[in-house]
């Protein structure tokens, strides 16, 4: 961003945006945006509460309400209650939700391979470098 073309911060913004645009294009015909997909992926892996999701996604809890509303209305996930704390909603994918998630996950992987085609297998180096930078700083934004 100093000489913009050389700045890592600037490059990261551009790369992140382009990766996002591509992913959303690749998910478009499943009628999922990246955030919806990520939520499905997280819920598929673990039955989060909405607050836990908000924290994990770096989102406002009220935004999660709307996200979950949309996905529930489409029959992709369900809200039930946690037995040990009935205030919390336990989110679970429906069979349709799981099926859609699996399709989306395939596309996501392809999208990422396509996006990083220029660097081939060095994408693993990129992943490692980003992981080292990101891991220690987990304060603001999407956490963990």
Residues of the shown chain interacting with DNA in the complex, contacts defined by CB under 7 A: 49-52, 54, 59-66, 68-69, 79, 85-89
- Residue closer to a copy of itself by CB (options 85, 144) is 144
Binding partner selected for residue 31 from DNA, a copy of itself, none, CB under the kind-specific 5 to 8 Å limit: none
Length of the chain (residues) = 144
Site for a copy of itself in 123-142 (CB under 8 A): 123, 125-127, 129-137, 139-142
Which residues in 41-80 contact a copy of itself (CB under 8 A)?
41-42, 45, 58
Pairwise CA distance, residues 111 & 102, whole Å: 14
* Phi, psi of 90, deg, nearest 5: -95, 120
CA–chain centroid gap for 28, Å, is 15
Residues sharing a CB contact under 8 Å with residue 48, sequence separation 6 or more, in sequence order: 42, 56, 91
**Interface with a copy of itself, residue 30, by CB under 8 A:** no
Per rule CB under 8 A, is residue 112 in the interface with a copy of itself? yes
């Amino acid at each position: 961003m100093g000489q913009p073309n050389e700045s890592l911060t600037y490059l990261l913004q551009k790369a992140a945006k382009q990766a996002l645009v591509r992913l959303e294009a690749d998910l478009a015909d499943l009628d999922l945006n990246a955030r919806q997909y990520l939520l499905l992926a997280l819920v598929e892996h673990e039955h989060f509460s909405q607050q836990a999701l908000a924290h994990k996604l770096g989102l406002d809890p009220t935004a999660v309400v709307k996200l979950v509303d949309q996905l529930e209305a489409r029959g992709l996930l369900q809200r039930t209650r946690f037995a040990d704390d009935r205030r919390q909603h336990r989110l679970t994918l429906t069979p349709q939700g799981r099926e859609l998630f699996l399709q989306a996950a395939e596309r996501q992987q392809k999208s990422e391979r396509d996006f990083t085609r220029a660097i081939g297998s060095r994408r693993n180096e990129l992943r490692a470098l980003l992981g080292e930078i990101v891991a220690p700083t987990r304060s603001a934004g999407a956490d963990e």
